[in-house]
Amino acid sequence: EKSDSFTDKVPQRLLPAVEIDGQVITDSLEIMFTLDRTFSDPDEPLFPPAGPERNRATMLLELERAVHGAWCNYLLRPEQPFEKRDANDFDAAMRQVETELAVNEETDWFLSYEYPSIVDFQFISLIERIVATIHYFKGIDVREVYPGLDPWLDAFERLPYYMATKGDYYTHCMAIPAQYGKVYSSNVFPAKRARTQVNPTMLRLPIKQYADVEQWTDMECETPIEDHSVEAAWGLVRNHKAIARYGCRAAGGDVGAWSLGDPWRSPLADPEAATNENLVEAVDVLLLAVAAALFHQDVELATAQAREAVAAAGPESRIGS
């Protein structure tokens, strides 16, 4: 939910959004260029100021748009029998990305900088979505089929600020229909398996690396599962009241009305759905029980606390045991 102070300045509710010197900007690429100009560092520019390197950077930004188009066509147009034009165009675009990454032998980035540039930042938001959605909808493991991407992706995954904002497969894939329209999924076994593995109802804790469709980073592999559990528990505890109220919108008044007539709007993403106040206290206790289980690695404790919460809530909560 966005505050009135935000929507007063950004009536379209678009993200990202930034205000610099009274100017509100909502285009991500323009935001990056504006930040680079406004807070420039001559020793570490985010975009080459002139010369062949700038020409190359401009060409790479054009390539990113071409890759975006090939990805959209592959996902959003039906596959024709005996014709793989969209699949071939997507493959050619991804091969070109591999080729361009291989040009720079000095660093892991597109340009010869020791740090990511605007080109890298523009590409990563797209490639991150491509890795998730092409696996989920088409059954293609992008990192396996296009190994030239791996050193670049690994370099990003070593950056804490990137990992703090990186999206998960489920979020990326569920956002596509609402943003772009109908997706034409493949029914090949790898695609169906990926969709099953990503489905939250099929998940069981603790998640095992070998059973996770999402590739783990080196740091994630080296970190004990207990550390991940504690981090998740802390995130849940510090936001538990807001999460409980948000979750109870699914049982609120007029839920789903927002999506009527538009099959690509998620009923549970309804920005106008009202919280079911009768459920909030019980759901809050249940969430805290989940946090306790994560923190103590004790599922039985969570189960006992959940049953107590259900019993205490009473029949008016409409929570089943």
Q: List, in sequence order, the alpha helices (H) in 138-224.
A: 142-145, 150-157, 160-163, 169-180, 189-198, 218-222
pLDDT tens, position by position, 195-220: 998 888 887 766 777 678 888 888 88
Note the pLDDT of residue 301: 72
Q: Label residue 252 exposed, middle or buried (CB < 10 Å: 0-12, 13-18, 19+).
A: middle
Contact between 302 and 296 (Cβ < 8 Å): no
Q: Render each residue's pLDDT in the chain as its tens digit; 321 residues.
A: 567 788 888 888 778 899 988 889 999 999 999 999 999 888 899 999 999 999 999 999 999 999 999 999 999 999 877 778 999 999 999 999 999 999 999 999 999 999 999 999 999 999 999 999 999 999 999 999 999 999 999 999 999 999 989 999 998 998 888 788 889 999 999 999 999 988 888 877 667 776 788 888 888 888 888 888 888 899 999 999 999 988 888 787 776 676 777 666 665 566 777 888 888 888 888 888 888 888 887 777 767 776 776 676 555 444 443
Note the pLDDT of residue 56: 96
